[in-house]
Amino acid sequence: MYSEKVLDHYSHPRNVGTLDPNDPNVGTGLVGAPECGDVMRLQLKITDDGVIEDAKFKTFGCGSAIASSSFATEMIKGKTIDEAFQIKNTEIVKELNLPPVKIHCSVLAEDAIKAAVSDFRAKQEKLKEVHS
């Protein structure tokens, strides 16, 4: 029913954890809703040059949702935020071999990446305003 890769990410999730949401270099994306059965929180630590140096996640959801977010943290580290913003859910589907009923888990992971990057950008904008 589940691919080997999903099972592996489920049993040994990469980068579970929490980054300080108040750190100006941390972008947080919280997507989904408890009543829908999945909530993902993705946090990215981004250098001043816009490179993702760390990523942490926590997910409430099925095994595929956990695997999608775990894999997303793996693939995103080292990328620039512009590159991260280009990541498509289909890359996650392909890597994890998700069946059609689980595509929404990968969409949620893509949304989480975009939300985290947007949060970081908004924070940076605010900082600039304060300084100028």
Partner 1 sequence: MVQLPIYLDNNATTPVDPRVLDAMLPYFKESFGNSASRNHPFGWKAEEAVDWARETIAKYIGADPKEIVFTSGATESDNLAIKGVAEMYASKGDHIITATTEHKAVIDTCKALERKGFKVTYLPVNKEGFISLDDLKNAITEKTILVTIMYANNEIGVLQDIESIGKICRERGVLFHTDSTQAIGKVAFDVNKMNVDLASISGHKMYGPKGIGALYVRKKNPRVKLSAQIDGGGHERGMRSGTLNVPGIVGLAKALEVCMTDLSEETARITRLRDKLYNGVTAVLDEVYVNGPDPLTAPEWRLPNNLNISFAYVEGEAMMMGIKDIAVSSGSACTSASLEPSYVLKALGVGEDIAHSSIRFGIGRFTTEEEIDYTIEHVVTAVKHLREMSPLYEMAKMGIDLKSVEWAAH
The span from the CA of 74 to the CA of 31, in Å, is 19
Question: Min. distance of Cβ 37 from partner 1 in angstroms?
Answer: 4
Question: Min. distance of Cβ 60 from partner 1 in angstroms?
Answer: 5
Structure tokens that stand for 89 in this block: 């859910």
Q: Tell me whether residue 62 is one of the annotated catalytic residues.
A: no
Question: Do the beta carbons of residue 106 and residue 68 sit within 8 Å?
Answer: yes
* Nearer to partner 1 among residue 58 and residue 121 (C-beta): 58
Q: Which residue has the tokens 């996650």?
A: 92
Structure tokens that stand for 84 in this block: 């991260």
From the list 40, 93, 105, 108, the catalytic residue is: 105
Structure tokens that stand for 54 in this block: 């760390």
Measured CA angle at 95 (ends 44, 17), to 5 deg: 30
- Phi, psi at residue 39, to the nearest 5°? -135, 130
Binding mask 26-65 for partner 1 (x = CB under 8 A): ----xxxxxxxxxxxx---------------xxxxxxx-x
* Nearer to partner 1 among residue 91 and residue 111 (C-beta): 111
Member of 4, 48, 100, 101 binding partner 1 (CB under 8 A): 101
Largest CA distance in the chain: 55
* Nearer to partner 1 among residue 49 and residue 100 (C-beta): 100
Q: Which parts of this chain interact with partner 1 (CB under 8 A)?
A: 2, 7, 10, 13, 16, 18, 30-41, 57-63, 65-66, 101, 104, 108, 111
Active-site residue numbers?
36, 105
